[in-house]
Amino acid sequence: MLRWVRQQLGFDPPHQSDTRTIYIANRFPQHGHYVPQKFADNRIISSKYTVWNFVPKNLFEQFRRVANFYFLIIFLVQLMIDTPTSPITSGLPLFFVITVTAIKQGYEDWLRHKADNEVNGAPVYVVRSGGLVKTRSKNIRVGDIVRVAKDETFPVDLVLLSSDRVDGSCHVTTASLDGETNLKTHVAVPETAVLQSVANLDKLVAVIECQQPEADLYRFVGRITVSQQAEEIVRPLGPESLLLRGARLKNTKEIFGVAVYTGMETKMALNYKSKSQKRSAVEKSMNSFLIIYLIILLFEAILSTILKYAWQAEEKWDEPWYNEKTEHERNSSKILRFISDFLAFLVLYNFIIPISLYVTVEMQKFLGSFFIGWDLDLYHEETNQRAQVNTSDLNEELGQVEYVFTDKTGTLTENEMQFRECSINGIKYQEVNGKLTPEGFSEDSPDGNRHGLVKEEELFLKAVCLCHTVQINADQTDGADGPWHANGITSPLEYYASSPDEKALVEAASRVGVVFTGISGDSMEVKSLGKPERYKLLHVLEFDPNRRRMSVIVESPSGEKLLFTKGAESSILPRSKSGEIDKTRIHVDEFALKGLRTLCVAYRRFTPEEYQEIGKRLHEARTALQQREEKLADVFNFIERDLELLGATGVEDKLQEKVQETIEALRLAGIKVWVLTGDKHETAVSVSLSCGHFHRTMNILELVQHKSDSTCAEQLRQLAKRIKEDHVIQHGLVVDGTSLSLALREHEKLFMEVCKNCSAVLCCRMAPLQKAKVVRLLKTSPEKPITLAIGDGANDVSMIQEAHVGIGIMGKEGRQAVRNSDYAIARFKFLSKLLFVHGHFYYIRIATLVQYFFYKNVCFITPQFLYQFFCLFSQQTLYDSVYLTLYNICFTSLPVLIYSLFEQHVHPHVLQSKPVLYRDISKNAHLGFKPFLYWTILGFFHAFVFFYGSYLLMGEDTSLLGNGQMFGNWTFGTLVFTVMVITVTMKMALETHFWTWINHFVTWGSIVFYFIFSLFYGGIIWPFLHTQDMYFVFVQLLSSGSAWFAIILIVVACLFIDVVKKVLYRHLQPTSTEKAQLTEAGSGINCLDSMCCFSDGETACTSVRRMLERLMGRCSPTRVNRCGISLNSLCCRRFSYKLEPDEPAAIDV
């Protein structure tokens, strides 16, 4: 119990040792010196709160916000000293904001608790006391032997002990962890693989030593020591032995494994750790505005306090006959009185800080994010994938992007590989009708119609068929002996691979005669022209990004030990000592110029002595617990040398649809596009040209293949000089990974200067961390531009997390990019709508929302400040305390919220077809100092008009009632408040371009609600109120014709100036957006809907019902398709134009 409490409070110390020792089936040593290690239990906790800590923890988090903490202080001040307003005026809005946020966060956490309980309570089977025991998942302990059946998920991280197969192998899919749907093979060590029954496993005496838990899904270092007949056998354990929690068992009846990591120490749980919080530029501006308004508040409070004491310097005002001081007041300290008065004024003016701004912005972001998921233009029908929002905090940031960093493979391209060409022994080949044909030959030529394969070709294809991680669908392996053709064999097998390149190469080899037919035990089976051959798989040297190659060591049917290697030409060619190296290098460059992805293939023969030495070194490195990766890298480098080059392959990756148009649109919008790829220089340049990233007319500069700082710096200076000399021409820059490292080490400023003067930048041969470094370099530059990174693979995650906005492509390289992104889309082409339409709308909406909130609070509090000049700074309030409380909560909150959800100042089609409009909102144009100053000055101007307009029209000695009775101060304050509510609501109406029935309802409804509430509030004597100041005040006010005249006149006077300003600016200095609005109005477009316009004849209720159905999940594109309704019929944008005599009535886009 104590340990659980310490875990909850976060006081549990970290693991003391670098490794953990696990006794299988918890058979601990019997000697007295052994102290058992403490491990976490198997409960998964993804929730943030518990029943006990919810209130304190949630309140602590909420009061970390400046505005909330400020209002708490004000509320406490009102409780402690005599202030002009009731504590309710601050307490109720604060309570409302805190409660709404707490309910939202509490509900989200309750859902997490519910999901956790389902997972932790799932039934599992554990081997205990010689039999299988059914228990709950949360009860599994480290060291327990767990049984998992076919299609079940693993409840903990397990080391595989045995399976129903003789070789102890099993297949799993890790789709829920990294999105990769291919089957992965895991194997048990031979000593435990034979223990296939519960009885045998219960007798197992073994110890596992492994590293402490870490988040890396693909890294595991350990060893198992099995005691057999007084002998201890040590075997290495790696990632191939570890079955991860969350993965699913496939094509295997059952497996037994020992739990090594449990609960929050499993790799899946360690990957739950939240990403660093990204903050949008709007949020930063909002905080700056809050500070400015806090300064204004302090200034007003100090000024009022000073002026109060200036008035009281005269004796007649210090203690008038109607307000004599008490003895205590006369003897109190002047300093304390000054502080008390200052705090009282602070309370009086505190509503200039808009407390409800935070909760409104949160609601706007949360509700607004649904529109991205609902947008059928962002829905990909082929894959049944819709856009996904992982965080709603950055919606408006989509409208501020200045740099886009994109991956190439799978992002700009389809990641669907097709074999095109290869080079074997210095001769180029192409696949023609299932035959490998040398370049320049055809089937009609004398040498083109040949049978069989020459020795070099067959060896090359066997290398391709043996050196890979491809799997075969288990249901189809029995069909491998079907009908075979003498040549040009068509394989009935279905291949699965984590790498599309490998799959394309194995499929191409099978078409031309060498077929990989599967793995049986420790043997790889190949059919060469119909003749089966069995190669014993001895070792696999796994691929890693540093080596950029993978290898297998096999024993041929003749008993010869062979190493087959494939990888990037930069890692294979320097290690080759024989073969047609120069010719192959030329062919690789030719393939790359065509935009093909290239790999080189080589092999090596081992003598028995060499193989024995290699086996010994590999065993030592693989069983090492410390620095295993470094030792393995050294051994791999020792093995993969003195290679004989066989040839190279060229695989094509098709461009995605509309990539060129999207990149061109981004360029027109003023966004610079950088392509960051791991491909070789020539391939990357070729693809950049084909996708429009580089233009044919563009002057392409290169910073490649530099080995020293001096040459790199000299080249950078030359490039900077060329750019200055040819400043009229557009420039593109190509830089490779090694040159980039040199440039960033000592010449960062010069490199940035060159990059910023280039229209497009291409970085090739990039490692994942280098991608993130480049993004950080731009992000932290003096201009601090907003960056967006988009990619589809695990190698793009660091870049996606580093950028201000990260977008994952739902591609074929797993879902790690999607899981770590802020937004996810199915195709690169959807980026244009996401930025130009959604980003534009979100930014305009929230920019207006933030500034309008400050404006309406200036309008609210400034008359209170002006009123003090007329009441000798006695801290008399102008408004009733109920009005003070409800102004931001009820009377003015809904119109701006609805505006921030539905506003469309330009038609979506216009925004997407004119990317240049994106420039109008770039660099935070609508939330800069000038717009902020305009809204603030406008607020002060309107406040002066409210107050002095009411004062002049209804000032002293003015009799406005039929009986000659004059209005009092509460009537005057109510008049000012009434004018203010109408004006700020009408101001929001003036800002609205897109009117729906919801806008009409909340705009006019807010004004009507204010009148009805005031009549109700002032028409009844409320017994729980200690004063009845407002009784019959509102009714009396509205009974005066002069009051109605004053209200109308003041509202018109306030808004007239604003209307004139808008008209003059639109005609004298129109922005591109305003010109587009005029064009749109002239064309007669009358159907405006952000995501989906509905057919003619549909009522407003129908569209609302459809929206609610979407919200409830009843209307999904999948269901629509099943019903036989096309997407076009469901979501057609229907534009109506003013017709010419020969034009159709409507145009469907």
Q: Which residue has the higher pLDDT, 384 or 269?
A: 384
| 3-state SS, residue 124 | strand
Q: Element (H or E) spanning 279, and its range?
A: none
Give catalytic residues, as residue numbers: 407
Average pLDDT over residues 2-17: 51
pLDDT digits (tens, 9 = 90+) for 460-502: 988 989 888 777 765 554 444 443 333 444 446 778 766 777 8
> What confidence category does residue 1004 fall into, taking pLDDT thresholds of 50, 70 and 90?
very high
Question: How much is the pLDDT for 391?
Answer: 78
536 has which bridge partners?
Answer: 523, 555
- Which range is most confident: 47-51, 130-134, 1001-1005? 1001-1005
| Neighbour order of strands in the sheet with 254-261 | 131-136, 123-128, 145-149, 254-261, 157-163, 242-243
Question: How much is the pLDDT for 1099?
Answer: 42
Question: How much is the pLDDT for 147?
Answer: 93
What's the maximum distance between 2 C-alpha atoms anywhere in the chain? 125
Question: How much is the pLDDT for 320?
Answer: 62
Residues 1090, 1133: Cα–Cα separation, whole Å? 10
∠ CA(782), CA(785), CA(789), 5° rounding?
130
Residues 399, 1048: Cα–Cα separation, whole Å? 39
Residues 133, 124: Cα–Cα separation, whole Å? 8
Phi and psi based region of residue 539 (left: phi greater than 0; alpha: psi -120 to 50; beta: remaining): beta
- What does the DSSP 8-state code read for residue 385? B
Residues 406, 676: Cα–Cα separation, whole Å? 6
Cβ contacts of 1134 within 8 Å, gap of 6 or more: 1087, 1093, 1095, 1096, 1146, 1147, 1148
User: Does residue 1147 surpass a pLDDT of 50?
Assistant: no
| 3-state SS, residue 969 | helix
Residues 525, 517: Cα–Cα separation, whole Å? 5
Q: C-alpha 1005: how far from its chain's center? A: 38
In contact, 536 and 522? CB cutoff 8 Å:
yes
Q: Which of 916, 828, 836 is nearest to 405 (CA)?
A: 828
- The average confidence (pLDDT) of the chain is 79
pTM across the whole model? 0.70
Q: Which residue has the higher pLDDT, 273 or 820?
A: 820
- Which range is most confident: 213-227, 537-551, 674-688? 213-227
DSSP string, 721-770: HHHHHTTTS-EEEEEEHHHHHHHHHH-HHHHHHHHHT-SEEEEES--HHH
Question: How much is the pLDDT for 405?
Answer: 92
Question: How much is the pLDDT for 149?
Answer: 92
Residues 819, 821: Cα–Cα separation, whole Å? 6
Q: Which of 379, 274, 47 is nearest to 1092 (CA)?
A: 379
> What confidence category does residue 653 fall into, taking pLDDT thresholds of 50, 70 and 90?
confident
**Tokens matching residue 586:** 């030329």
Question: For residue 768, which phi and psi values (nearest 5 degrees)?
Answer: -55, -45
**Tokens matching residue 710:** 């001096």
User: Does residue 1086 surpass a pLDDT of 60?
Assistant: no
User: Does residue 938 surpass a pLDDT of 90?
Assistant: yes
DSSP string, 778-794: HHTSTT---EEEEE-SG
Question: How much is the pLDDT for 1110?
Answer: 43
User: Does residue 1114 surpass a pLDDT of 60?
Assistant: no
| 3-state SS, residue 583 | helix
Identity of the amino acid at 140: I
Distances (CA, A) of 724 to 695, 696, 712, 721, 728: 20, 20, 19, 5, 9
In contact, 206 and 237? CB cutoff 8 Å:
no
Q: Which of 359, 185, 331 is nearest to 255 (CA)?
A: 185
Question: How much is the pLDDT for 594?
Answer: 79
In contact, 856 and 848? CB cutoff 8 Å:
no
- Which range is most confident: 543-557, 863-877, 985-999? 985-999
Residues 849, 856: Cα–Cα separation, whole Å? 11
Strand 254-261, strand 145-149: pairing? antiparallel
pLDDT digits (tens, 9 = 90+) for 286-343: 878 888 888 898 898 899 888 888 877 776 666 665 566 666 666 667 788 788 888 8
Residues 662, 832: Cα–Cα separation, whole Å? 6
pLDDT digits (tens, 9 = 90+) for 403-448: 999 987 778 877 677 888 899 988 898 888 778 888 766 555 545 4
Distances (CA, A) of 705 to 24, 548, 761, 770: 53, 17, 16, 16
Q: Which residue has the higher pLDDT, 33 or 667?
A: 667
In contact, 921 and 840? CB cutoff 8 Å:
yes
Residue 724: how many CA atoms within 13 Å on its side-chain side?
Answer: 7
Average pLDDT over residues 590-602: 84
Residue 877: how many CA atoms within 13 Å on its side-chain side?
Answer: 23
Residues 992, 1039: Cα–Cα separation, whole Å? 33
In contact, 163 and 274? CB cutoff 8 Å:
no
User: Does residue 1090 surpass a pLDDT of 60?
Assistant: no
User: Does residue 959 surpass a pLDDT of 80?
Assistant: no
Q: Over pLDDT 70: what percentage of the chain?
A: 81
Residues 1088, 995: Cα–Cα separation, whole Å? 9
Question: For residue 171, which phi and psi values (nearest 5 degrees)?
Answer: -115, 135
Q: Over pLDDT 90: what percentage of the chain?
A: 13
Question: How much is the pLDDT for 1128?
Answer: 36
Identity of the amino acid at 192: T
Least confident range of 156-165, 446-455, 680-689: 446-455
- Which range is most confident: 542-551, 581-590, 1107-1116? 581-590
Q: C-alpha 629: how far from its chain's center? A: 31
Distances (CA, A) of 1034 to 865, 891, 970: 23, 16, 9
Question: How much is the pLDDT for 14?
Answer: 47
Residues 945, 980: Cα–Cα separation, whole Å? 10
537 has which bridge partners?
Answer: 554
Least confident range of 73-77, 125-129, 927-931: 73-77
Q: Which of 927, 838, 860, 795 is nearest to 498 (CA)?
A: 795
User: Does residue 222 surpass a pLDDT of 80?
Assistant: yes
Residues 565, 549: Cα–Cα separation, whole Å? 7
**Tokens matching residue 612:** 């024995």
**Tokens matching residue 17:** 């040792």
Q: Which residue has the higher pLDDT, 175 or 1049?
A: 1049
- Which range is most confident: 472-486, 660-674, 680-694? 660-674
Question: How much is the pLDDT for 1085?
Answer: 46
Q: How many CB atoms lie within 10 A of CB 175?
A: 15
Question: How much is the pLDDT for 1125?
Answer: 34
Least confident range of 16-25, 273-282, 518-527, 947-956: 273-282
∠ CA(383), CA(386), CA(390), 5° rounding?
125
Q: Which residue has the higher pLDDT, 3 or 513?
A: 513
Residues 564, 566: Cα–Cα separation, whole Å? 7
User: Does residue 345 surpass a pLDDT of 80?
Assistant: yes
**Tokens matching residue 1032:** 């019959």
Give per-residue burial for 248-265: e unless 16+ CB within 10 Å, then b: bbebbebbbbbbbbbbbb
Residues 789, 919: Cα–Cα separation, whole Å? 19
Identity of the amino acid at 751: F
| 3-state SS, residue 53 | coil
- What does the DSSP 8-state code read for residue 242? E
